[in-house]
Amino acid sequence: MSNKIESHLVEDRVFKPSKEFSAKARISSLSQYKKLWQESVDKPNVFWAREAKELSWRQTWTKVLDWKAPDAKWFVGGKLNVCENCVDRHAAGPRRNKAAIIFEGEPGDKRVITYGQLQREVSQFANVLLAKGVKAKDRVLVYMPMIPEAAVAMLACARIGAVHSVVFGGFSSDSIVDRLEDSGATHVVTADGGWRRGKIVPLKDNVDEALERYKGIKSVVVFKRTGQDIQMKSGRDTWWHDDISKVSAKHEAKAFDSEHPLFILYTSGSTGKPKGILHTSGGYLTGAYTTCKYVFDMRDEDVYWCTADVGWITGHSYIVYGPLAMGVTQVMYEGAPNQPDFGRFWQMVEEYGVTIFYTAPTAIRAFIKAGDHFPAKHDLSSLRLLGSVGEPINPEAWMWYHEKIGGGRCPIVDTWWQTETGAIMITPLPGCTPLKPGTATLPFFGVDAAILDEEGHECKPNEGGRLVIRKPWPSMTRTIYGDKGRYKKTYWSDYKGMYTAGDGARRDKQGNFWIVGRLDDVLNVSGHRLGTAEVESALVGHPAVAESAVVGRPDDLKGQAVVAFVTLKEGIEGTPALQKELREHVGKVIGAIAKPDDLHFAPALPKTRSGKIMRRLLKELVATGNVTGNTTTLEDFNVIATLQKNLGSG
């Protein structure tokens, strides 16, 4: 029996970049892409040295790459200051008074921070950290709302060589304790609270609770954002505004080794316990910078907006390090997309004239569910490029994004990458790649991606297998913090010298990569291995469906039966007739083999706090009626409780 993942969903809509877009783009033809890609994998030293030279280095490297799988050193002997690259070099030139961050708080407060101001604020905060005794390589836990000071705190750490570990503001005190213990952090930067859906998220209270259990913290700096009463423990806690008033706004950035650790970030936990991914300086910054340049085609006149939180890798690479290294102007928003209603993002796009917009499929599906009238009310004509990241984007969601947000004119870059990869790995380049809804298309420069079967042979076109990267790249993670063994086992043990991503994928005849789902989630129905993405996309392709998650349930006859959970669009009722219709629909689009045996309507699907569907919990639920797996990254336990109740009574 074949162990390949089968593929049945065919997508033939193709969207070529417009002549106007291509004419101005950095890479404007497929042949130009192919030539440069070939050079980048054949001679990575040449390609990456040329890119890295666009950054400012205090000391040039003596060797581009030192590689002994799975250990990579990039730009060996090079020295730089990451923060200087993101801030000072712009502040010292014509971008001094250019807006770096246009901030909007959820309640509607607005602030513009120029590169010059950012330099003063970062320098001041670096001096604060130094005064607290923070030293190079010390770990600083950053637990902040989505406000400019989150970026300031991260950049200040980078400036003095301290290692930040940002914890998403939506995480509880339990998650903080786990991350404090794992990273051995000695200092915390937080805020009294942040605004989310009109309510205060009690950040400082959560920190206090965590610090009752973790005793290794010497100082907590608290930014005043929401203004409610909080506890300040004397000798440990201080206010940000008091601290900065006591220090100079000048700080001379020192150079650090290219391999100096920059940050630890815990993965989303979609498949299990989060891993502390360690990234270092020179290679990471080069990766973030180069992808911003080619994938987002960033220009000095762009207004860029990435809606991620700085607590995720997308926020690290595509809010803080990449865009700031490019010197672009960006919008930053604190709150929820539906506050006060689902028009908030589109109102902001119109107000600030956003040109590049980067969001996640979960948000797009929420917008589709809410209705087209929200974006229709706003002038979105400033947009020229759209991006998607985090999960496979269902083709129908892609089409909606393309038409309703992009006005049919904006290319969409569907970017596949991971916390571990540090930067975008598989992606269209907007000026040259023919787009098909649902595929992340082609590998980025320097990325030698392939799909292998279990024996290590490369799969034929349209045969599904395991996605691997066969060569090192600059922004790759260097280790799981404190656990080299787990690092080797998780990523480097399937095939010799190759990185396994943990995702299933296939390539079509044009070489496009289609992510078919996580390997852990692959279904095995009567000996046929099916990825989850295609079945889910078939369901989302039905006009009544907003979102869906598909998992396997143990079945004596088939091995696994297909179980689908479906969320309907606003105003549509889940009837037995619709249930039947949806099953037939999957049968028609994909084939009888994928027809859901059970189909449940669900008010909501269980997701990570970054908005990704957590199939492992659904899988456990349908197999045992219970959920015992790690739920620390689950956004809302009520979702599981409701499903459990419905399944029990249904």
> Which residues make up the interface to ligand ATP (CB under 6 A)?
267-272, 274, 313, 389-392, 414-416, 418-419, 440, 501-503, 515, 518, 612
Q: How far is the CB of 309 from ligand ATP (least distance, A)?
A: 11
Owner of token pair 């098909």: 436
Q: 507 - beta bridge partners?
A: 513
Q: How far is the CB of 431 from ligand ATP (least distance, A)?
A: 19
Q: What is the dihedral of CA 54, 291, 464, 599, to 10 degrees?
A: 160
Q: Residues at the annotated binding site?
A: 196-199, 314, 338, 390-392, 414-419, 503, 518, 526, 529, 540, 542, 545
**Residue 159 CA from chain centroid, whole number:** 24
User: For ligand ATP, which is the closer residue by CB, 102 or 515?
Assistant: 515
User: For ligand ATP, which is the closer residue by CB, 186 or 267?
Assistant: 267
User: For ligand ATP, which is the closer residue by CB, 186 or 633?
Assistant: 633
Q: How far is the CB of 648 from ligand ATP (least distance, A)?
A: 28
Q: Residues at the annotated binding site for Mg(2+)?
A: 540, 542, 545
User: For ligand ATP, which is the closer residue by CB, 222 or 469?
Assistant: 469
Q: Residues at the annotated binding site for ATP?
A: 390-392, 414-419, 503, 518, 529
Nearest to 501 by CA among 453, 451, 547, 464: 451
Q: How far is the CB of 32 from ligand ATP (least distance, A)?
A: 23
Nearest to 329 by CA among 93, 100, 89, 96: 100
Owner of token pair 């949806």: 582
How far is the C-alpha of 268 from the C-alpha of 608, rounded, in Å? 7
Strands annotated E in 431-512: 449-452, 465-469, 479-480, 499-507
How far is the C-alpha of 467 from the C-alpha of 470, rounded, in Å? 10
How far is the C-alpha of 644 from the C-alpha of 636, rounded, in Å? 13
Six-digit token string for 461: 């076109």
Q: How far is the CB of 313 from ligand ATP (least distance, A)?
A: 6
Nearest to 18 by CA among 439, 437, 425, 406: 406
Q: How far is the CB of 198 from ligand ATP (least distance, A)?
A: 27
How far is the C-alpha of 358 from the C-alpha of 296, rounded, in Å? 9
Nearest to 139 by CA among 119, 167, 118, 120: 167
Q: How far is the CB of 443 from ligand ATP (least distance, A)?
A: 13
**Residue 254 CA from chain centroid, whole number:** 30
Three-state DSSP class for residue 57? coil
- Are 609 and 170 in contact by the 8 Å Cβ rule? The answer is yes
User: For ligand ATP, which is the closer residue by CB, 134 or 393?
Assistant: 393
Q: How far is the CB of 308 from ligand ATP (least distance, A)?
A: 10
User: For ligand ATP, which is the closer residue by CB, 223 or 499?
Assistant: 499
Q: Any residues with CB less than 8 A from the CB of 219 and at least 6 apart, and which?
A: 132, 133, 187, 188, 236, 237, 238
User: For ligand ATP, which is the closer residue by CB, 251 or 316?
Assistant: 316
User: For ligand ATP, which is the closer residue by CB, 40 or 268?
Assistant: 268
- Are 627 and 621 in contact by the 8 Å Cβ rule? The answer is yes
Owner of token pair 């991503």: 501
User: For ligand ATP, which is the closer residue by CB, 253 or 450?
Assistant: 450
Residue 380 — φ and ψ, nearest 5°?
-105, 20
197: left (phi over 0), alpha (psi -120 to 50) or beta: left
Q: How far is the CB of 511 from ligand ATP (least distance, A)?
A: 16
User: For ligand ATP, which is the closer residue by CB, 84 or 396?
Assistant: 396
Nearest to 539 by CA among 518, 561, 516, 568: 568
Q: How far is the CB of 361 from ligand ATP (least distance, A)?
A: 8
